[in-house]
Homo-oligomer: A and B are copies of this chain.
Amino acid sequence: MRYRFADRLSHAPKSFLDEIFRVSADPSIITFAGGLPSSSLIDTEGIRMATCQVMEDDPSAALQYTTTDGYLPLREFIAARYRSRLGIPASADEIQIVNGSQQCLDLFAKIFLNPGDYVGMERPGYLGALEAFSLYEPVIETVALEDDGPDLAAFEKLIRSTKVKFFYGIPNSQNPSGTTWSQEKRRAIADILVDSDSVLYEDDAFGELFFDNRPRLPAKRYIPDQAVLSGSFSKIIAPGMRIGWIFAPARILKQFNIVKQAADLHSNFFCQKILHRYLIMHDLDEHIKNIVGVYERKCRLMCDLLDDLVPQVTHTTPEGGMFLMATLPEDLSSRAVFEEGIKRRVAVLPGLPFYIDGGGTDTIRMNFSTASEEQIKEGMVRLAHVITDLQKT
């Protein structure tokens, strides 16, 4: 049998994400390769209580079909949090619930991209976005990511070319680099965009996880009709529920809703209700403060151990999030470190899949949220051995 698959599949990058999850499942490997929030910080008792309440209240409604847009009280909670936390006008009408941020990537590309259309991204750029966008066969143009955000001159040149339908970035504690756009660059990026027809897509998966607990204002604040924000409960409550959202201007949301309905009718209603119940029963800020405290300690520990054990490796110094990016000495390849690491039972992620132009040969992404402090200590010793030994050969 000959299957006549669509051309778009030839554009799909070889996926690493599932591979990462599989490696992460081997308990003998200490993994810095994945992107899981810490399992020990999931408030299972709080979620259990919220679940019990949903099951007591009106369980058959929670288990029935619902509308595509999502559970209104949950959308109202999200909008209220934008207002109180970031001072941005936001209403539930501008929020659509999706299956985690990843679904935003797919559906947003679906409403904007014809084959051959141009998309802008950071370099390095988020792997999950590359995977989602690629299936719509765009031309992806990248702008170098500096310590404080995209290279402004390159960004302006790209936007002025009028080519890109949208520019996608992760302004807060980016995956994979761990860098955060400065407030000045956000303002400048908004100023550049305002005269164009390009939309800004700010993926804000990590905005709640700044170590100083201080929110950073999205560029959407300056160009509300020209930017969308996506958010997720995966990093602050529980990824297994697959609940995220998009916050978008009404005219964009209308199209988004059509493709969401065609994609899967609506997101899991049971978990939307559980999440909402959890959120109104608990102090989310306290919960996040707890997560952030742990992540900050782990991040510092990882950075310190890198500096102490392998000073020949340089790295970013994240202000939050779950990742940092390390640059290897010139003679070392990230793939060799990955492969040798697996043998020594420590996993890092080569930078390769975050570049569409063959870059990332000398960078590795390191996750500091999943492993315990003990594991980080042991894993960094293993990694130092890997790097030192590879440099000898």
Contacts and interface: CB of A to CB of B under 8 A. Distances in A.
Given A44-B55, A47-B63, A65-B21, A99 B268 contact: yes
A312 interface: no
Interface in A233-265: 234, 238-242, 249, 251-252, 255, 257-259, 261-265
Interface string A93-127: 00000111011011000111111010000000000
Contacts of A327: none
A66 interface: yes
A221 to B, nearest CB: 16
A283 interface: no
A67 interface: yes
A39 B66 contact: no
Interface in A33-72: 35-37, 39-40, 42, 44, 47-48, 51-52, 55, 59-68
A271 interface: yes
A22 interface: yes
Main secondary structure of the interface of A (DSSP, over half): helix
A9 B67 CA distance: 20
Contact of A65 (B2, B239, B252): B239
Copies of this protein, total: 2
Contacts of A103: 263-264
A15 B263 CA distance: 13
A238 B132 CA distance: 29
A59 B36 contact: no
A39 B64 contact: yes
A240 B62 contact: yes
A246 B110 CA distance: 22
A4 B198 CA distance: 8
Interface residues of A, number: 86
A136 B134 CA distance: 15
Contacts of A249: 1
Given A18-B261, A268-B99, A2 B197 contact: yes
A261 B262 CA distance: 17
A93 to B, nearest CB: 14
Contacts of A271: 268, 270-271
B44 A3 contact: no
B265 A128 contact: yes
Interface in A1-44: 1-9, 12, 15, 17-18, 21-22, 35-37, 39-40, 42, 44
Nearest to A134: B262
Nearest to A44: B59
A264 B102 contact: yes
A18 B70 CA distance: 11
A197 B4 contact: yes
A188 to B, nearest CB: 19
B4 A255 contact: no
Given A5-B111, A55-B48, A242 B267 contact: yes
A131 B261 CA distance: 8
Contacts of A239: 63-65
Given A9-B258, A103-B264, 18 more contacts: A1-B226, A4-B165, A6-B111, A6-B114, A9-B255, A9-B259, A12-B258, A15-B258, A18-B261, A21-B67, A37-B64, A39-B61, A63-B239, A99-B264, A106-B263, A128-B265, A131-B261, A131-B262
9 contacts: A5-B255, A6-B113, A17-B68, A40-B60, A63-B241, A102-B262, A103-B264, A128-B262, A271-B271
Closest 3 CB pairs of A and B: A63-B238, A44-B59, A240-B269
